[in-house]
């Protein structure tokens, strides 16, 4: 499965993550995560995309790679594994665009629900996920770095007309 849009100068676009993106992906990963994924981890995830069990994308503004995200497919659920945006680009709609694309792909693949973990201290990410219909469902104690708790969030009914309308409303609000 391949996913790519044309890039216009200053336009926010996404495309399927490839190995050629990893240098920049790892730079962002190291800037935003205390225990970043390794090159080996990302390479393994990209390889698994061929099996259809994973999907990762990168976000560009013009020719600058500014973020990325991914998910695992398990039955009719999609698990968001990673959403990260370069700190210089946070708060400008990049994560929203990544989540829109991941949500639409999960829906197109026939998933009925999505799940993710988010740091209990990351209120900006929690607010973003709530816009998409995610709701807290539990806590994973000491999930991050064996120190910080994660909130487990679920979004059910992504195959419903109501979710499609929610996505259209989010799309309509973007610049």
Secondary structure of 44-93 as H, E, C letters = HHHHHHCCCCEEEEEEEECCEEEEEEEEEEECCEEEEEEEEECHHHCCCC
Question: Which residue among 56, 60, 68, 129 is the active-site one?
Answer: 129
Q: Is 129 a catalytic residue?
A: yes
Q: Is 143 a catalytic residue?
A: no
Residue 95 and residue 149: Cα distance in Å, rounded? 22
Question: Which residue among 117, 143, 162, 171 is the active-site one?
Answer: 117
Q: Which residues participate in catalysis according to the annotation?
A: 117, 129
């Amino acid at each position: 499965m391949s996913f790519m849009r044309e890039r216009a100068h200053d336009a926010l676009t996404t495309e399927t993550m490839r190995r050629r993106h990893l240098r920049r992906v790892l730079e962002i990963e190291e800037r935003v995560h205390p225990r970043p994924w390794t090159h080996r981890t990302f390479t393994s995830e990209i390889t698994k995309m061929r099996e259809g069990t994973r999907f990762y994308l990168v976000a560009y503004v013009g020719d600058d790679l500014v973020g990325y995200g991914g998910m695992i497919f398990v039955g009719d659920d999609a698990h968001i594994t990673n959403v990260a945006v370069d700190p210089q680009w946070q708060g400008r709609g990049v994560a929203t665009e990544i989540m829109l694309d991941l949500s639409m792909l999960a829906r197109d693949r026939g998933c009925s629900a999505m799940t993710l973990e988010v740091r209990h201290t990351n209120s900006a990410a929690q607010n973003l996920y709530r816009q998409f219909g995610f709701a807290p469902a539990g806590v994973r104690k000491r999930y991050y770095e064996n120190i910080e708790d994660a909130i487990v969030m679920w979004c059910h009914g992504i195959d419903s007309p109501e979710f499609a309308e929610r996505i259209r409303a989010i799309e309509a609000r973007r610049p």
